[in-house]
Structure 1
Amino acid sequence: MLALAGCLATAGLLFAVRPSFAQAAKALGQSLQAGDSAIHAAAADTAEKSSSFEFDIPSQSLASALDRYAVITGNPVLFPSKLAAGRSSSAVRGRLEAGAALELLLQGTGLAAEQLHEGGLNTFALKQLSAADVVEATARAEAKRHVSERYDALVQARVWEALCKDAHTAPGSYRALLRFRIDAQGRIRQPRLVSSTGDARRDSMLTDTLANVGIGQPPPADLMQPLTMLMLPQGKISGRLCPAEAR
């Protein structure tokens, strides 16, 4: 018995998706050697695809998370129902490529995704990782975490340096919540204040300053964006100070 989940809102859409789904399910049946013949499919609208998508998937049951993933990306994810039972997903938030988002969603589940190409539809099949695979995946995730932490620190340093150049934007005397993206060339884009600092001139200077900041390195491919940075008054949190001439 096959289950089909996702954004199948009309009979016409269901008819359009069903042939590709059947092909992908057949391929999965050939590739999986588990005895469970019940296959769950998280399928979504197969219209025009984007190279990256905006995700906001909290940690939840794996089956529900995969349904949401399919709705966002249009990429069906196939798996024997017992494979997802009792498993929870990792949270996925920000703009990410479909493959990177799925890898992040599966972190800690002991499962991996294998890509199938059936009927022109990008389809993924889940498989159980071996003990050696789990060790390798854990090491890979740890390495990615270190890369992300180093890049986060670099971004903070570049933003801090830029804000310290002017006494009015120098951190230490105000609170600000900033949000921005970093493009493929390593430059800050779309900076905005989530809430005002209480000084309209400073608000404008903050976003103008950020718009001219270059990080010096492109972001990691799986960096979740937009980034959010909280600036607190001196004494609220430990951290370095701007040079005396900027204060």
Structure 2
Amino acid sequence: MTVTQATGAARALAWRLALGRAALGLFALGLCAPAPGRAAESGRLRFDIAAQPLDAALAAYAQTTGMAVLVASRVTAGRRAAAVQGWYAPQDALSRLLAGTGLQARYSSATAFTLVEPAARPSGPDGDRPATVPLAYAGVLQRTVTRALCQWRGAEFGRYRAALQLWIGRNGVVGRAALLTGTGDAQRDAALTGLMTGLVMDAPPPAGLPQPVLIRLAPRADAAADCRHVAGG
């Protein structure tokens, strides 16, 4: 699914985490090419994001900035994002978007982040784990999914949008994949779900990984470069 990887690999996904554009946010992956339009010399971008459910707002943010976001779906469930309209640096825009959600961004690179709940506190002997995807594992998700997509239909990689939920077993194998938003091609949707089901991650998930992980795929500015980066990784 924003959701969170090494710099190069992070550009490869739109997973909600974040796996995520057409690649992961991991997670949240998600991966989006920046929307057309000039950016100011200061690095500011033009944002036009209405107040709306956080899931949708993050997708719009990723499309504008090209950043990958990887986050467990239950982190964003029921939360609403604030409106962000005007010219802002990407990090400033994200801070405004998350205002009032109780979440904060944690960056794994200049182009990828996950969301955390800084106010979460343990409530038992071992504590209740907050529903966030560890940055290190977000990288694993992004890298594994990007490589699989590149090997699957390399010519199509980075040319479609989709959102999926992944349930990952203790052994690192995706036991179930559910398509939330299709690519617009029923045959490709079925094949994509089949590809994700049974996919073996480069490493097993950490204990307590929030499930399912939401992966958003979106168009990439340079999908070939993303594929080269993860080839053989």
Q: Which interval holds the TM-score relative to the shorter structure?
A: 0.3 to 0.5
Q: Which has the higher relative contact order, 1 or 2, with Cα contacts under 8 A spaced 6 or more apart?
A: 2
Q: What is the TM-score of this pair, normalised by structure 1? A: 0.39
Structure that is richer in helix per residue: 1
Q: What is the TM-score of this pair, normalised by structure 2? A: 0.42
